[in-house]
A and B are shown apart, each in its own frame.
Chain A
Amino acid sequence: MYDNDYEYDILGVLRLLRFVQMYRPERAARLVAGETQFSTEQILEFIYYSIEEIFDDCYSEYDEMSGSELMCIYDTVFDEYLDFSAKLMEAHPCSVQAVRRRFEDIVTFFLSDRNCGIFDMTIRYEGNSPQIQLEFAEGYWEPGGLVIALTDLMHYLIRENEHMKQIIEKRSDKIVSLPKHCMEEAA
């Protein structure tokens, strides 16, 4: 589309910057001020050190046992998704596990792409707060694909949260209940 050999990775950088500008504007200024000059040689380095700005909390560590790099991410958007989903499900006999499973499916859907370079993924819960741990195989790192997948995931969850919030606010009008005689039969 833009006729550039590094289009994929450059779009990853621009997508990261635009996403942070939209949802974390205070960080965008800091991010840009920290790395003022940008060239094609710095793409991978820029993404590597800037990807944490997408989330509220993100850190990487090297696992000596497996020889792989781990990235742990947490964001309030994840909590909001589970909270709103649980509120929407109050009218239905749905367990917390089902809501969590749905969240895990969404995360898997966006991050299971081979272009991300993710070798393994684990989702842990501290209370009701999910923390995603990504594992990258040693020497295999796809910054462009990863940043695009992560921003797509976050953007999707944010839109889903906004949508659920609207439904909850208008829930009394939105819920279609079964006729009284059906409810009586079910009881």
Chain B
Amino acid sequence: MLEFHPEIFTELLHSVPEKIPYCEKPQHSEYLQTEVFDRLRRGETIDLTKLDLNAFDLCHTAMEWSEDHYRGMEQGWQKGFNKMLKLIQASPREKRAFF
């Protein structure tokens, strides 16, 4: 049977890639506020050919609650995953299956 090496285990843990965020951190864009939202609220139309698509980024179009939303989704998946783990055969016998 393989021997457990804490230093190798730690090294492998550190080699896990950095987590890619699900969405960008929402930021306010003054350009979008004045050129799009304020004008639409006044009932005006927007000429899309004059809209500078490079003047804003995806983070300026993210919903305020998007981070919380995805965090909640992730927690829900984790709960489901934990529930699945509890159903595996080794768990009810309270035996160590890994270390």
Contact = CB atoms under 8 A, between A and B. Distances in A.
A40 interface: yes
B37 A22 contact: no
Q: Chain A interface residue count: which class?
A: 35 or more
Contacts of B23: 152, 155-156
Interface in A1-41: 1-8, 10-11, 14-15, 17-19, 21-22, 28, 32-33, 35-40
Contacts of B15: 174, 176
Contacts of A10: 36-37, 40
A155 B59 CA distance: 12
B58 A6 contact: no
Contacts of A53: none
A122 B53 CA distance: 33
Most chain A CB atoms below 10 A, which of B11, B40, B45, B56: B40
User: A1, A15, A32, A182: which has the most chain B beta carbons within 10 Å?
Assistant: A1
B56 A160 contact: no
B73 A2 contact: no
B53 A21 contact: yes
Nearest to A110: B22
Q: Give the secondary structure class of A's interface.
A: helix
A163 interface: yes
A37 B47 contact: yes
B71 interface: no
Interface residues of B, number: 42
Contacts of B45: 37-39
Nearest to B59: A18
Contacts of B54: 21
Contact of B28 (A1, A178, A179): A1
Contact of A163 (B17, B22, B41, B66): B17
A7 B37 contact: yes
B17 A11 contact: no
B18 to A, nearest CB: 8
A104 interface: no
22 contacts: A1-B64, A2-B32, A2-B37, A3-B41, A4-B41, A10-B37, A14-B60, A14-B61, A15-B61, A15-B62, A18-B56, A18-B57, A19-B58, A32-B51, A36-B48, A37-B47, A37-B48, A109-B77, A160-B20, A176-B12, A179-B5, A185-B1
